[in-house]
Chains A and B, each alone.
Chain A
Amino acid sequence: MNEQAKQFKFVGTRPIRPDGVDKVTGRAMYGADLTLPGMLEGKVVRSPHAHARIKSIDTSKAEALNGVKSVVTAADMPEAESKPVAAGEAMINFRDLAENVIARHKVFYEGQTVAAVAATSNEIAERAAALIEVEYEVLPHVIDVLDAMKDDAPVLHDHIFTGGVTPKPEKPSNVANRVEFALGDIDAGFAAADIVIERKFTTEPVHQAYIEPHAVVADMGPDGKADVWCSSQGHFMVRSFCAGLLKIEMSKIKVSAAEIGGGFGGKTTVYLEPLAIMLSRKAGRPVRMVMSREEIFRASGPTSGAAMTIKIGATKDGRITAGDATLCLQAGAFPGSPVGPAAMTAFAPYDLENVRVVGFDVVSNRPKVVAYRAPGAPISEYAVESVVDELASELGLDPIEFRAKNGAKEGTQAAYGVKFGTIGMQETLEAAKATEHYKIPLGPNQGRGVATGFWFNIGGESCAGIRINEDGSVSLTEGSPDIGGSRASMAIMAAEVLGIDVAKIKPSVVDTDATGYHFVTGGSRVTFATGMAVVDASKAAIDELRARAAKIWDVDVDGVVWEDGHAKPASTNVGDFEPMSLAEIAAIANKTGGPISGHADINAKGAGPGFGTHICDVEVDPDTGFVTVLRYTAVQDVGRAIHPSYVEGQLQGGAAQGIGWALNEAYMYDEDGKLENAGFLDYRVPVASDLPMIDTILVEIPNPTHPFGVRGVGEVPIIPPLAAVNNAVAAATGVRFTALPLSPPAILAGTGAGD
């Protein structure tokens, strides 16, 4: 790896991020930071019921209040058909999306939007919201995923008939879809096993818990053109969703990406943006809307909770013969849980001959789920990795060796369809086994757990522009909102290709009018795909720089090469010319054809799958059930770390979120289906003092399809922690827990010490 690293001048270095000073000085502009002349403040009226029919909405008292400038309900939004439609490149059911933005006939969860108001101040808007009278007919509700699947469960949507089964069911139900992935013959596989372990698991829905709330400013002029400023994981997503919902041409909506204070998948959809446009259109003034933390918990999507059954068989010598899984995932109020990826990833870290995974996408009266880092994978892989660990333990095998013996490698056929190319599963296991951490002796009530994780990573549409300025500095434009330090990585890759200092390059995330369509910042795709566009754009700029040098020298362009930031004659045959620097060529660009730039608009293919192995040490207080995480090491194949600090940060952040998922995070509902812990006091994400330093080891098995070998890194690290913690707790207590979170009361109840 060091040998390869030597060939790079900037890739693998750690310059200060271009957005760093703005962020530490408070100058950075986040979603709520924009103020426009005449701007109104918008507030949302939310359902107090988990499931109810809307009988009437009377907005007259609110409209009569002095200072109120507009009120909107579902009547202000065009009705959409219930069918998947291409929005940008994603398939969206606009009817579900519309109802999640503003309820039309029914409310499906406590906190769902039923109306919105805009007024001259927050206080007036709040008072107006309280004056909107909504008459409900309360309906029976269902919260739990297994309850929602029962025959006598209240049915949320009478148009949902379970998909993926034949014949089509006669009755509507809450089971929106069934998926299945299979390989080989599991009956034969289990027959060949010496040991079979089957366990049932449950996990809670968990929220992404981004620190910045959803926030938007929208301003629509009388000509129907809208400017939108918001914090999201994709301003092109915001444009296409708003255009589709409101039936406005995309060219008439310009969305600018504010800085974003965390998303983790949770900002890959719209909540406030269409409402703000509707309110602005009606009021003729700009409107700002900002969610409170309580609204975020009640009305924005977490990822699914789940109920699962996992069965794995193995021979005495440690070869897994078959894996079988049934996964039931909560989708929330509308179909669309990540059961597909959960099913596809469940056994993906392993080279297995016989696999079957069946998954169900189940609606219930909770907020609609939305993406959260590696959607679905932490859930299914937690359950599988817990059983894998138990098998290793029962067979008396080292858990890393057992995984290595069965682990995926180049050429492994995954049950979900692909045959893996160059992957680093085995290398992460080897690196984990070689750590000091894995050898540290443990004390009383302490335990060590290991788990692996797999995620696909994706490519997708990205664009980049490289503009060579007259003074030789470079403006880099792209359209992927920067969540994890991607501007720094883009500048590094451009510098590497152009051969100029990284400090000469200023990267910017530009608005939807200034660059082409980008898929969201998600799927661990930006450094890979937008990075590829930046490399291509840089190469295009170099071609133009070479052409200009050729013109100056009056030689054929093939006679000019680009090395170390200079145009040089390809050989002495071309002629004896002094190399020209990028700055020298730029300075006289007006004499050689005008401004110099390079552009690339691509759909990146060939994202490299990512694998990680985590080691976790815990100590469990036998009398209180409190779990202390003592040590934690995250090992991951990152392909190539462009800016290693931000890669390490991804690993640490993913591990921290996964530990929170494992230990304390949970949604608590009362009997009426109302959320009891809509705030950070009782929705317990880990605080800094809860965690040890998360050590990271970057394994670099370059992705052969990326010019620098990049693999996505942002999602893999949230997958292993759930099982790593669970397996460590099992080692510390001797009890195999099968439900998350592992809160102190749950631990005490499980170990029997609470009796």
Chain B
Amino acid sequence: MSGMRYEAPGSVDEAVTLLADEKGVARVLAGGTDLLVQMRAGMISPDLVVDIKKIAETKGITANGGGFSIGASVSGAEMGEHAELTAAWPGVVEGAELIGSTQVQGRATMAGNLCNASPAADSVPALIAAGATCTVAGPNGQREVPVEDIPTGPGKTSLGNGEFVVDIKLPARPAHAGDAYLRMIPRTEMDIAIVGAGVNLVLDDSGTCTEACVVLGAVGPTTITVADAAAALVGSKVDEAALAAVSAAASAAASPINDKRGTVEYRTKVAGVLASRAAAIAADRARSK
């Protein structure tokens, strides 16, 4: 009955044309770990599915000038196998690797996690904390967009008609930099974060924090960047007092809802717990470099 079309173009331009020309509902397929599940559950029935895995620009992880470009069809498992990336951005990689299970990791992509626009997306807080950007291709060419500008609300993105994410870029790292991501789920895998916290920070040679970014997931309609938590870290040695201030700031910034996955009280408290724990892990990683 449904005349759903499946296309697997070989170039960015072909993909853009297919997406832009579709009159009905078009969806981009990378790993498919959200899209196919939503289709099977009857939540969406797209008229066109564009598989981007055959496009060269979406494949592979490239190191350039100390930074990295991660193609939109790169799976979590590929990221975890990449020694340089894992050494430079352990928090980003651990966020991506928390999605699903071992089997899901063979397929699930960070770009897909970003564009699915779930407030609980596991890879997104650490990406934002890292200052990551993404390349968006569309009918008017390509643009570089900070990752935090992609999700605009649960299930909604800023991507226009015909646009899709081609890759995600992570910047070069100075010395003594570290990041971390932690999430709370009632199980150990195969679950959706009740709270997520990503922290990225840089220390100077004396161990004093010079830059920090703290980002919360699953405690608001989009991620929440907690400026007060970052302010509490900068200038500190990331000691107990600073971590307590991070915890308080994160709890104060969280604006969760009650739903089947958790209560307001629980999420508010645990946002602080995870933010301070992630900051401590990020600082330990920074000190060891």
A and B assemble together: yes
A623 to B269, CA, bound (A): 8
Report the bound CA distance from A733 to B186 in whole Å. Answer: 18
Q: Is B158 an interface residue (CB 8 A)?
A: no
Question: Is B22 on the interface with A (CB-CB < 8 A)?
Answer: no
Give which listed residue, B41, B184, B192, contacts A624 with CB less than 8 A.
B184
Whether A664 contacts B187 in the complex (CB less than 8 A), given A745-B262, A749-B265, A754-B265, comes out as yes
Complex interface: chain B residues within 8 A of A744 (CB) = 184, 186, 194, 266, 270
Q: How large is the interface on B (under 10, 10 to 19, 20 to 34, 35 or more residues)?
A: 20 to 34
CB-based contact B184/A626 at 8 Å: yes
Q: Is the CB of A624 within 8 A of B1?
A: no
CB proximity of B197 to chain A, nearest CB, Å: 12
Docked Cα-Cα span, A624 to B184, in Å, equals: 8
Choose from B1, B41, B191, B266 the contact partner of A684 (Cβ within 8 Å): B191
Decide: B261 and A682 in contact? CB cutoff 8 A. yes
Is B188 part of the contact surface with A, judged by Cβ < 8 Å? yes
Which one of A37-45, A496-504, A685-693 is at the B interface? A685-693
* A-side interface mostly: loop
Q: In chain B between 220 and 265, which residues have their CB closer than 8 angstroms to a CB of chain A?
A: 260-263, 265
Docked Cα-Cα span, A197 to B60, in Å, equals 64
B190 at the interface (CB under 8 A from A): yes
Q: Which of A623, A668, A677, A690 contacts B187 (CB 8 A)?
A: A690
Given contacts A123-B1, A682-B261, contact A626 B269 (CB under 8 A): no
Q: How far is the CB of A742 from chain B (nearest CB, A)?
A: 10
CB < 8 Å neighbour of A745 from B2, B263, B273: B263
Q: Is the CB of B189 closer than 8 A to any CB of chain A?
A: yes
- Whether B86 sits at the interface, judged by CB under 8 Å, is no
Report the minimal beta-carbon distance from A346 to chain B, rounded to whole angstroms: 29
Asked whether, in the complex, the Cβ of A754 is within 8 Å of the Cβ of B186, the reply is no
B186 lies within 8 A of A677 (CB) = no
Chain A residues near B266 (CB-CB < 8 A): 625, 744-745, 748-749, 754
Look across to chain A and name the residue whose beta carbon is closest to the beta carbon of B273.
Answer: A623
Interface size on A, residues (CB 8 A): 28
Instruction: Give the residue name and chain of the B residue nearest to A668 (CB).
Output: B260
The answer to whether A624 touches B270, judged by C-beta atoms less than 8 angstroms apart, is: yes
Report A-chain residues with C-beta under 8 Å of the C-beta of B17: none
In the complex, B142 has a CB within 8 A of chain A:
no
Q: How far is the CA of A123 from the CA of B39 in the complex (A)?
A: 13
- State whether B1 touches A127 (Cβ < 8 A): yes
- Which residues of the other chain, B, contact A623 by a CB distance below 8 angstroms? 269-270, 273
Residues of B within 8 Å of A743, CB to CB, are: 186
Contact B273 A690 (CB under 8 A): no
Q: How far is B184's CA from A594's CA once the two chains are assembled, in angstroms?
A: 70
Indicate if B62 sits at the interface (CB-CB under 8 A). no
Tell whether A687 pairs with B188 under 8 Å between CB atoms, given A624-B273, A748-B269, A754-B269: yes
Smallest beta-carbon distance A585→chain B, Å? 53
Asked whether, in the complex, the Cβ of B186 is within 8 Å of the Cβ of A626, the reply is yes
Instruction: Find B186's partner among A124, A664, A676, A680 (CB 8 Å cutoff).
Output: A664
A165 interface hit (Cβ, 8 Å): no
Docked Cα-Cα span, A309 to B55, in Å, equals: 64
Name the A residues within 8 Å of B273 (CB-CB): 623-624
In the assembly, what is the distance between CA of A608 and CA of B41, in Å? 46
Query: Within 8 Å CB of A24, what residues of B?
Result: none
The answer to whether A687 touches B260, judged by C-beta atoms less than 8 angstroms apart, is no
A89-128 residues with Cβ-Cβ distance < 8 A to B are 123-124, 127
What separation, in Å, do the CA atoms of A624 and B260 have in the docked complex? 17
Contact A684 B265 (CB under 8 A): no
Asked whether A687 lies within 8 Å of B265 as measured between CB atoms, the reply is no
Answer whether residue A681 sits at the interface, using C-beta atoms and an 8 A cutoff: yes
List the A residue with the shortest CB-CB distance to B1: A123
Shortest CB distance B91–A (Å)? 19
A412 to chain B, nearest CB (A): 40
Alpha-carbon gap, A624 to B274, bound state (A): 9
Give chain B nearest CB distance to A181 CB in angstroms. Answer: 37
Q: Which residues of A contact B269 (CB under 8 A)?
A: 623, 748, 753-754
Complex contacts, B101 vs chain A, CB 8 Å: 687
Distance to closest chain B CB from A398 (angstroms): 32
* Chain A neighbourhood of B274, CB < 8 A: 624
Q: Say yes or no: A690 contacts B192, CB within 8 Å.
A: no
Quote the shortest CB–CB distance from A129 to chain B (angstroms).
12
B263: chain A residues within 8 A (beta carbon): 745
Residue of B nearest to A67 (CB): B1
Q: In the bound complex, what is the Cα–Cα distance between A681 and B2 (angstroms)?
A: 28
Which residues in window 291-324 of A have CB below 8 A to B?
294
For window 171-202 of B, CB contacts with A under 8 Å fall at 184, 186-192, 194
Complex contacts, A663 vs chain B, CB 8 Å? 186
B262 contacts across to A, CB distance below 8 A: 745
Residue of A at shortest CB range from B101?
A687
Residues of A within 8 A of B186 (CB): 626, 663-664, 684, 743-744
- A124–B1 CB distance below 8 A: yes
Please indicate the chain A residues that have their CB under 8 angstroms from the CB of B41 in the complex. Answer: 294
Q: B188 touches which one: A676, A680, A689, A749 (CB < 8 A)?
A: A689
The answer for the CA separation of A82 and B269 in the assembled complex, in Å, is 53
Q: Which residue of A lies closest to B195 (CB)?
A: A624
Q: What is the 8 Å Cβ interface bit string for chain B, positions 1-40, against chain A (1 contact, 0 not)?
A: 1100000000000000000000000000000000000000
Task: Compute how far the CA of A686 lies from the CA of B184 in the bound complex, rounded to whole angstroms.
Answer: 15
Q: How far is the CA of A663 from the CA of B188 in the complex (A)?
A: 12
Interface string of B53-86 (1 = CB under 8 A from A): 0000000000000000000000000000000000
Within 8 A of B (CB), among A658-682: 663-664, 668, 676-677, 680-682
Query: B278 to nearest A CB, angstroms?
Result: 13
Q: How far is the CA of A682 from the CA of B187 in the complex (A)?
A: 10
Q: Mark B114-129 against chain A: 1 for CB-CB distance below 8 A, else 0.
A: 0000000000000000
Q: How long is the Cα–Cα vector from A690 to B191 in the complex, in angstroms?
A: 12
Known A-B contacts A623-B273, A626-B184, A744-B266; A676 and B189 likewise in contact (beta carbons under 8 Å): no
Q: Which of A577-633 contact B (CB under 8 A)?
A: 623-626
Question: What are the residues of chain B within 8 A of A677 when measuring CB–CB?
Answer: 260
Q: In this complex, what residue of B is CB-closest to A689?
A: B188
Task: Determine the distance from Cα of A689 to Cα of B274 in the docked complex, in whole angstroms.
Answer: 21
> Which of B101, B186, B269, B270 neighbours the largest number of chain A CB atoms within 10 Å of its CB?
B186
Q: Which residues of chain B are near A753, meaning CB under 8 Å?
A: 269
**How distant is A681 from chain B, measured CB to nearest CB, in Å?**
7
CB of B38 to closest CB in A, whole Å: 12
Measured CB to CB, the closest approach of chain A to B219, in angstroms, equals 14
Q: Looking at the assembled complex, report how far the CB atom of A42 sits from the nearest CB atom of chain B, in whole angstroms.
A: 17
Bound CA span A338–B87, Å = 56
B187 touches A687 (CB 8 A): yes
Chain B residues with Cβ below 8 Å from A749 are: 265-266
- The residue in chain B whose Cβ has the minimal distance to the Cβ of A628 is B188
Distance, CA A614 to CA B188, complexed state (A): 23
A737 smallest CB distance to B (angstroms): 15
Rounded to whole angstroms, the CA-CA distance of A335 and B187 in the bound complex is: 34
Given A123-B1, A690-B187, A690-B188: A682 and B270 interface contact (C-beta under 8 Å): no
Residue among B101, B189, B270 with the most chain A CB within 10 A?
B270
- The residue on A at minimum CB distance from B263 is A745
A681 near B192 with CB under 8 A, answer yes
In the assembled complex, the CB of A382 is this many whole angstroms from the nearest CB of chain B, namely 19
Contacts of A689 in B (CB 8 A): 187-189
CA distance A258 to B238 in the complex (A): 61
- Which 3 interchain pairs have the tightest Cβ spacing? A745-B266, A689-B188, A623-B273
List chain B positions with a Cβ less than 8 A from chain A. 1-2, 41, 101, 184, 186-192, 194, 260-263, 265-266, 269-270, 273-274
Residues on A lying within 8 angstroms of B by beta carbon are 123-124, 127, 294, 623-626, 663-664, 668, 676-677, 680-682, 684, 686-687, 689-690, 743-745, 748-749, 753-754
Question: What are 12 of the A-B contact pairs (CB < 8 Å)?
Answer: A123-B1, A127-B1, A623-B273, A664-B187, A668-B260, A677-B260, A680-B190, A681-B190, A744-B270, A748-B269, A754-B265, A754-B269
List 16 other contacts, CB 8 Å, given A689-B188, A749-B266, A754-B265: A123-B1, A624-B184, A663-B186, A664-B186, A664-B187, A668-B260, A681-B192, A684-B187, A687-B187, A687-B188, A689-B187, A744-B266, A745-B263, A745-B265, A748-B269, A753-B269
